[in-house]
Amino acid sequence: MPYSEPFISSSSYALDREELLRIRSIKLLTSDRDYVFFALQIDYAGKLNPSIDVSAFCERWELNEGNLYKALGELRNKGIVVSIASHIDLHFQGS
């Protein structure tokens, strides 16, 4: 039988903090860059210029500061994070 219409489901998949931590713990997500990207999307959804408390963010997401800064540098190289300041005021490219 040929496929003629896309399957539409009313269910959805929510990516929240607990789910992202679970995905990382079972090693489905191993890149700190990708992990930080999703963590930022969860914590700062819709904010173009969030100001981040580095210690609190790292504690919440179980990261060390060095890995956070490295991931932010990689996101900057990809054009996702435009600016990184000492207190970490991020400017996201439109998504």
Domains and CATH numbers, the chain: 32-95 (1.10.10.10)
Query: Which pLDDT does position 43 carry in this prediction?
Result: 94
Cα gap 22→65, rounded to integer Å: 21
Cα gap 63→37, rounded to integer Å: 13
77 with 86: CB under 8 angstroms? no
Quote the pTM value.
Answer: 0.75
Q: Letter for the amino acid at 24?
A: R
Read off the pLDDT of residues 27-82 as tens digits, 9 standing for 90 and up: 999 999 999 999 999 998 888 778 888 889 999 999 999 999 999 999 989 988 87
Give the closest residue to 29 by CA, choosing from 12, 41, 47: 41
Query: Which pLDDT does position 13 carry in this prediction?
Result: 85
> Residue 14: left (phi > 0), alpha (psi -120 to 50), or beta?
beta
Cα gap 22→16, rounded to integer Å: 10
Cα gap 59→5, rounded to integer Å: 46
